[in-house]
Amino acid sequence: CTACNSGTHSTGGAEGCDDCEQGRYQNQIGSTACEGCPRGRASTALGADSPSTCQFCPNGTFGGSRGLSYCEPCPAGTYSSSEGLIACSACPEGSLTPPGALMCCPHASTDWPLTS
């Protein structure tokens, strides 16, 4: 019997070790499961062996659940101006924003682009 290395796990008596999936990591040897990236972070790395591979979601996006491989853009009408958010903030009435907005803009004309 050989213990699985960090960045991998073995499931229920299966032979061999599998890499941790995107959005997950394992920094212990001999694990049966990988840990999910915390909310507000995501990772595209396979076989990650450290929580540091989970990067903060950039401005304009959010990470609402654990174990994400990518951060989702804020929906239209919302924004996020900070990294690592778990939800986007609603814009005040009279503002418009496209998806993935960093801030709300007052709706000054009907020419405002609704998409980026």
**What's the rounded Cα separation, in Å, for the pair 110 and 23?**
40
What's the whole-number mean pLDDT along residues 32-49?
A: 95
pLDDT in the model for residue 51: 94
The percentage of the chain sitting over the pLDDT mark of 70, rounded to a whole number, equals 88
Distance of alpha carbon 101 from alpha carbon 81, whole angstroms: 8
What's the pTM?
0.80
Average pLDDT of span 96-110: 78
Q: What is the mean pLDDT of residues 108-114?
A: 47
The Cα–Cα gap between 62 and 58 comes to: 8
Integer Cα distance of 38 and 67 in angstroms: 7
Confidence at residue 14, expressed as pLDDT on a 0 to 100 scale:
62
